[in-house]
Structure 1
């Protein structure tokens, strides 16, 4: 018997009054994977996440969490699910430790087990030194770490994370990435939203794009990704900056010198990944001691740009209005 999806949404829609926010959205997250949910502001990401978290009922469509129907078997779906919202709601009278103990109690953990799990999560999320601080005194980043710890109390097999890196300092971001990768390696299925696309590019193995409340067809995503990989700017740094500049010039390649904290880098446009690999091999063979060779922007960010550009182009069902036609403000 095949393992059920960690998250499966089919044809999910939701409106608020006359305003349709999510329309016929479909996605699937496999156990042991990290899937990024990406879209511009107002695309319906938060509304979709709330429906997946069983906190908002869809007007149409179905949601299954860990194989459980979120509508007819809500309790089982919630027991499988860890939910980290964009903003942490907390009990102001409780300390960090007491908050985790309270959540553990809600999930039925007995006192000894709850105490042990709380201690484990304080260590995991770097909150040991803040354990006896009341939650209102925490910074935004510290609250995010507590929010992740709360989502993990009952060892869920499914995680929904809405902007989990917001407010985190670099050290905390690195810690969070490690935690999420470890959880995925243990079989947890993770769906994560973030506006920091470079962060998602480092951890996600799959991406779902949401545009105007609709999930973009995966074939379109793959085509956009292929297009995004062509003609990208690349950044190159070598131990000998002047030698690198001469080597690129000898190859007939125009590059731009830029300063970075690590030293001078050269940026240039390369047609595709095959050409990038060939250039790197040529430079190394020629004696250049390359220490950095990478695209300037992530593949996910470039794909996002490609899809945004495609959505703004009129297609067969999107005729260009005559120049004299007044703007109505309606979606084209």
Structure 2
């Protein structure tokens, strides 16, 4: 089994562009690609990676790693590896259409994707479309409003709120807005103004084979920065059973509202203070691997990557998880909670 794992930030997605790689995206991208490659290698899956020359060495000795030094080399290698692999996993930020472009390029060369395809990515990479889709399906989401580039904050919105790019990732250009009198930094593209959700930030990941019942992974609590920027710092898992069940209920409803999806999706939630879950909300859908994978992989007794490939091939894996509490950081560090 040959697996091509393409992570946009570390794999040369910015080759030929000016400017340095965004720190948060680089940190999380490196953590994800190393976790995926190591998990696959442990399952005796042959892994192929691409590495931007400006990225630190990727610490997976058994992987075949090819360096990328130009845009043309990136495009040529991507097409070659995606076409030849038995399975391909694409990881990229939604920003500026990077994820959709990479997935579409993989589909163009006939890649056998073990991650979500372009139909799902096109919908969920756009936060406005996602909110409308979920709301129409009856999935609880915060009140939101689309703002054109340069548009002022509306006076009649229910503050506090969060303002974010329509296609953002990694909390880039995301800000808390306490009232209409606030002045978030100017932004040259459309944004979404979303009512602030009160509760515990959480996430739940799933592996779908395109049918109604996915493999639901343990829910995670998210650690976010308290400076109004909502930077992802890491998380912890598992949650208490009652919270996990509420998170899984929202995940099932979210998946049912989307086009048929194959592979790993991450769903960001806020679990409210009502024990029955009446104030729980879905914040975003990530149609790709998320950083929580590093913690989930450490807890899983089997291979998550093998489960993704099974899903792509129409098989359903059986997974079990170590129940011990663990925490993980955005850079991939994992540690078990002290007893």
State TM-score, norm by structure 1: 0.29
Q: Which has the higher helix share?
A: 1
State TM-score, norm by structure 2: 0.28
